[in-house]
Amino acid sequence: MNTPLDNPVLRVEDLEVRYGNLAVPAVNRVNFEVRRGEILGLVGESGCGKSTAAMSILRLLHPPGRVTHGRVLLDGIDLLAMGTREHRALCWKTISLVPQGAMNALNPVLRVENQIADAIAAHEDTRSKGPLTPRINELLALVGLPSRVRRLYPHELSGGMRQRVCIAMAVALRPPLVIADEPTSALDVVVQRVVAQSLLDIKNRLGNSMLLIGHDMGLMAQLADRVAIMYAGRLVEIAPVADVFRAPRHPYTRQLIESTPTIGQRRPLAVNEGGPPGLGTRTAGCPFAPRCPHAMPRCANEPPAMAQCGEDWQAACHWSAQP
């Protein structure tokens, strides 16, 4: 019998991505899975490799970036091993993307309906299925947009509306997995909440899984089922979101949680002591050790491996692994 646990939608195995000839990989042997119907948050500071990992899964990595190791299994099929043509035929149907909120992700010269229709027409024989208009209206309704938006151009929409169009476009082919890359960044707070709610509604209505990339633990708490924390290209902790908030095992996770602004009070950012190491410098031990309040002599020499530290809970930290 297949339980959601042993039949994940997406399994990332030992993924390693390098930029050019830099000494340290941008994504360093990362393993995680996205389970059926769940939202997995992938969290870290900018530059930690989370977006690079997402782009690798989508095969949108641009040179000089390249995947140097690992597999990306979607329902057991390795996406990275496919031919370009084969992958193109499969891509939006299996994994789609909701881009960063700050991006001009919509083509400025095409109407909303044409951009959604493009995604459908690239993968279906649209002639046999009748007119697309009702389908597009339905998709827009799914994200709470009126059908007149169909005929508009991107510049006639607000940032939040544009982002919701992107969400509608992402689910146009009902893919089992949607990757949302900082979907609420650069939107104002009220709009952020609307967009986040749209994502959650969509997931609940359509039952798709979602990989949610972000740096904001608050958003993760609101949306994600589990979170995976990345630091300097490595996964440092992965666990159900409630557990992580209750008792984070990795000191970096703790700092991330403490830096989250809560309504009414804004605590000073605790993570800001220094920054993550650059990609040019190789570190022998734990990359977080220089910023870690609990660093031990061992941390400087021996990189910690991901270890089970509870049911459905893994972390890579010498300090928290101590008895």
Partner 1 sequence: MSTMRGSSLAYLIRRLAMFALTIWLGLTLMFLIPRMAPGDPIAAMVARISSQAGRVENSEQMIQAWRTRFGLDAPLYQQYGRYLWNSLHFDLGYSMAYFPMKVEDLVRAGMPWTLALLSIATVLSFLVGSTLGALMGWPASPRALRLVLPAALCFTSIPPFMLGILLIYVFAFGLRWFPFAGAYAHEFPPGRNLDFVFSAVHHGILPATAIVVTTMGFWALGMRAMMVTTSGEDYMILAQAKGLRPRRLFWMYGVRNAILPQVTSLALSIGGIAGGSVLVEYIFTYPGMGYLLYQGIVNNDYALIQGMTSILIIGVATAVLIVDLAYPLLDPRIRRGDL
Q: How far is the CB of 293 from partner 1 (least distance, A)?
A: 38
Q: By C-beta, is 90 or 194 nearer to partner 1? A: 90
Q: Is 109 in the site for partner 1 (CB under 8 A)?
A: yes
Q: How far is the CB of 125 from partner 1 (least distance, A)?
A: 13
| Interacting residue with partner 1 among 26, 39, 48, 106 (CB under 8 A) | 106
Q: Which residues contact 175 (CB under 8 A, 6 or more apart)?
A: 92, 93, 94, 95, 96, 208
Q: How far is the CB of 147 from partner 1 (least distance, A)?
A: 16
Q: By C-beta, is 123 or 193 nearer to partner 1? A: 123
Q: How far is the CB of 168 from partner 1 (least distance, A)?
A: 13
Q: Is 90 in the site for partner 1 (CB under 8 A)?
A: yes
Q: Is 185 in the site for partner 1 (CB under 8 A)?
A: no
Retrieve residue 66's tokens. Answer: 């390249």
Q: Which residues contact 283 (CB under 8 A, 6 or more apart)?
A: 24, 232, 277, 289, 303
Q: How distant, in Å, are the alpha carbons of 74, 306, 323 from that of 283?
A: 32, 17, 26
Q: Is 178 in the site for partner 1 (CB under 8 A)?
A: no
- Taking each helix axis from N to C end, the angle separating 159-170 and 133-142, rounded to the nearest 10 degrees, works out to 120
Cis peptide before 64 (omega within 30 of 0): yes
Sole window of 93-101, 208-216, 224-232, 291-299 interacting with partner 1 (rule: CB under 8 A)? 93-101
Q: Are 213 and 27 in contact (CB under 8 A)?
A: no
Q: Are 108 and 154 in contact (CB under 8 A)?
A: yes
| Interacting residue with partner 1 among 68, 107, 158, 204 (CB under 8 A) | 107
Sole window of 27-35, 116-124, 128-136, 187-195 interacting with partner 1 (rule: CB under 8 A)? 116-124
Strand ordering across the sheet containing 95-98? 95-98, 177-181, 209-214, 39-43, 226-231, 234-240, 313-315, 307-310
Q: Is 255 in the site for partner 1 (CB under 8 A)?
A: no
Q: By C-beta, is 138 or 156 nearer to partner 1? A: 156
Q: How far apart are CA 288 and CA 290, in angstroms?
A: 6
Q: Please report, as residue ranges, which positions from 39 to 68 form the binding site for partner 1 (by CB under 8 A).
A: 58, 60
Strand ordering across the sheet containing 27-34? 27-34, 10-19, 65-74, 77-78
| Interacting residue with partner 1 among 29, 71, 147, 153 (CB under 8 A) | 153
Interface residues with partner 1 (CB under 8 A) are 58, 60, 87-93, 96-97, 99-100, 103-111, 118-119, 122-123, 153, 155-156, 166, 169
